[in-house]
Amino acid sequence: MSALRDKYAIVGTGKSRLGQVGANSLALLEEAIKNALDEAGLTNKDVDGVVVRGPDDVYSHHQLVAARLGVDASFSTSLDNGGASQILSIILAVMAIEAGLATTVVCGYGRDSWSRTHAKGGAGIAQNDLIPAAQRPKEHGPEFGHFGAVSQHAFGARRHMFEYGTTRDDFAAVAMAFREHALRNPEAVMKKPMTREDYYKARLIVDPFGMFDCSLNSDGAGAVVVTSAERARSLKQKPVLIKGFATHNNTKGWIEEDHMLSTGAVDSGERAFKMAGLGPKDVDTTQIYDCFTYMVLTQLEDYGFCKKGEGGEFVRSGALRMEGSLPTNTSGGQLSEAHVEGMLQIVEGARQLQGVYGVGRQVPDAEIALISGHGGNQVCHSTLILGRA
Amino acid sequence: MSEYNKPIPVPSQESQPYWDGLRERKLMMPRCDDCNSYWFPPSLLCPRCNSSKWTWTKTSGRGRIYSYVVYHRVYHPAFAQEVPYAVAVVELDEGPRMYSNVIGVPPDALSCDMKVEVAYEPITDAITLPKFRPVAA
Ligand SMILES: [Zn+2]
């Protein structure tokens, strides 16, 4: 795999408007892709590949996306690995280009979660109600009042607290660090500072998670353009090199073995680092899939930024803050910028390496970024390591 | 007795013997004839060795709380009167893990690794739920 190191690049990144936009997921994605192509100095005429997240819903279905772009794609498909799909889309783009199936691939994802959960303008509907009835479990869960992703991750948080002495103070440190970052990011949805008191005052959702342990319901989209590093040299932007990637899916199940304590990031990270010829000490910034605060802490352990069980201490040390030893989710992440299932983390990682931000928002001298994706009933994982060209 | 509004399990062909067992107050799981491992939820092959030779076997009904959470948010209207309520991942002594509720104690009395045993709760003529209660120390 290291033969592919630095051979492909991200040459454009784009976001849509974020937050309470009111547009549908396809329109949001179209907006993000347009921005990514503009940044790359490319048009739809240059695009021959489309890889997006789907098709569990209309979300980003590749045929609909390509139709809107006016592209007959030599390679296009939709992925089904939940929040691990967005990095996987870049991996697949690289594989497709390497195999000669495409030359310039658009990867992206859009979702209209805010609009859907606030469609009736009332108190909002539960995220669980967004899952089509036919896809909801019929037994072994709902009869006990067990619904959805919040509690699945909360099981992991509870067991981690039990085994390693992790506390909600540690989760608060994650939430507060990302909120600080959001305040420096004008695009971020969350605009108010968060104190420890604010964190504890927020209502409990599924204990041990309160409201600020949970990511946002956002409308939004992100997109990137992938092509060869060779081609990138003649394009408008300074490219961001794809140095390493891997996936690992704990497909036996989230509640099986030690999976809720030790995620697919262990294997995925080890192989991505190997491909990149790098280790945790080489990483200047991480963009970690933060569907819930706990998931940041445990993935940082799994990637080897600290030892298993020491994530609480690590995040409490301030490491994740912009001024810390490992600035993480520097846009505010899914907890405080917007939740587009990891797509915005890829955009943020790439932009930090392009060095486009000003003082306070930019990680100084960022050369290497590690980005993670997690999802698909909590078992799918993907890792992307990017480098400054 | 007031009307039962909570979700009622819909057995599949694969899980029907499990629900039949519960109606007779037996917690049955598939057990592999070749490698002796138990698993849940039921499926065609032993997930450990992929043998198709296996037998529905009565478990001890005893285990421990691997993890648990306490729902404060109402995700289904039938649970509106129940919050805060606990949902646990119970690990049976035989190995399989399953979602359930732990009854007879308030949520704040629960802990990981607490020993529990099955408690049968009939909800319809066809369906009895496997809940758990702490084992007296
Ligand atoms: Zn077997």
Cβ-based neighbour number of residue A244 at 10 Å: 25
Cα angle A357, A361, A367; round to 5 = 65
Evaluate whether residue B95 is within a structural domain: yes
Give the number of domains in chain B: 1
Residue A247 three-state SS: strand
pLDDT of residue A129: 62
- The answer to whether the Cβ–Cβ distance between A142 and B76 falls below 8 Å is yes
**Cβ contact (<8 Å) for B107 and A138?**
no
- pLDDT averaged over every residue in chain A: 94
Interchain contact, A143 vs B6, CB within 8 Å: yes
Domain ranges of chain A: 2-115+216-388
User: Looking only at Cα atoms, what is the longest distance across chain B?
Assistant: 47
B73/A143 Cβ within 8 A: no
Query: Per-residue pLDDT tens for A124-154?
Result: 455 556 666 777 889 999 999 999 899 999 9
Report every protein residue that has its C-beta within 5 angstroms of ion ligand 1.
Answer: B 32, 34-35, 46, 48-49, 51
CATH number for A2-115+216-388: choose from 3.40.50.300, 3.10.110.10, 3.40.50.720, 3.40.47.10: 3.40.47.10
Tens of pLDDT, residue by residue over B7-58, are 999 999 999 999 999 999 999 999 999 999 999 999 999 999 999 999 999 9
Q: Which of B71, B79, B113 is nearest residue A151 as measured by Cβ atoms?
A: B71
pLDDT confidence of residue A57: 58
CB B93 within 8 A of CB B116: no
CB contacts of B67 in chain A (<8 Å) are 155-156, 158-159, 162, 255, 260
With a threshold of 0.95, tell me whether the complex ipTM lies above it. Answer: yes
Residue A156 contacts B, CB cutoff 8 Å: yes
Nearest CA in chain A to B107: A207
Which of helix, strand or coil describes residue A270? helix
The CB density around residue A155, as the number of other CB atoms within 10 Å, is 26
Is position B129 within any domain?
Answer: yes
**Average pLDDT of the residues in A116-123:** 64
- Confidence tier at A96 by pLDDT (50, 70, 90): very high
Substitution target in A125, A130, A139, A257 with the highest count of B β-carbons within 10 Å is A139
When pLDDT is averaged across residues A229-243 and rounded to a whole number, the result is: 95
Q: What is the pLDDT, as a whole number, of residue A124?
A: 47
With beta carbons under 8 A apart, name residues in chain B contacting A141.
99
Query: Is residue A219 classed as helix, strand or coil in its secondary structure?
Result: strand
User: Per the domain annotation, does B10 fall within a domain?
Assistant: no
Query: CA-based diameter of chain A, in Å?
Result: 59
pLDDT digits (tens, 9 = 90+) for A309-327: 999 999 999 999 999 999 9
- Write down the pLDDT at residue A179: 98
**In sequence order, which ranges of chain B are alpha helices (DSSP H)?**
16-23
Give the pLDDT band (50/70/90) at residue B59: very high
Q: In this complex, how many residue pairs, one in chain A and one in chain B, have their CB atoms less than 8 Å apart?
A: 102
Is the pTM above the cut of 0.80?
yes
Per-residue pLDDT of A349-372, as tens digits, reads 999 999 999 999 999 999 999 999
**Nearest CB neighbour to B69, from listed A140, A203, A207:** A207
Question: A144, B112: Cβ pair inside 8 Å?
Answer: no
Domain that holds residue B38: 16-134
Q: Does A176 touch chain B (CB under 8 A)?
A: no
For testing contact with chain B, the best of A135, A144, A255 (most B CBs within 10 A)? A144
The pLDDT tens digits for A19-71 are 999 998 899 999 999 999 999 999 999 999 999 997 555 656 899 999 999 99
Q: How far apart are the first and last CA of chain A?
A: 19
Contact A142 B7 (CB under 8 A): yes
Structure-token match 């509106």, residue found: B80
DSSP letters, A17-56, are --BS----HHHHHHHHHHHHHHHHT--GGG--EEEEE-SS
Among A128, A143, A256, A259, pick the best mutation site for testing chain B contact (most B Cβ within 10 A): A143
Q: Do B10 and A208 touch (CB under 8 A)?
A: no
Task: Tell me if chain B has a CB within 8 Å of the CB of A159.
Answer: yes
Residue B3 covered by a domain: no
- Domain membership of residue B68 (yes or no) is yes
Task: Report the distance separating Cα A171 and Cα A1, nearest Å.
Answer: 36
Residue whose pair of structure tokens reads 């930090």 in the numeric block: A352
Return the amino acid letter for A40. A
Cα–Cα distance measured from residue B123 to residue B105, given in angstroms and rounded to the nearest whole number: 20
Task: Give every CB contact of residue A188 below 8 A, 6+ residues apart in sequence.
Answer: A18, A181, A182, A331, A332, A336, A337, A338
Is some CB atom of chain B closer than 8 A to the CB atom of A151?
yes
Q: Share the mean pLDDT of chain B.
A: 96
**Residue A136: its pLDDT value, please?**
81
In this prediction, residue A60 carries a pLDDT of 63
pLDDT of residue A58: 60
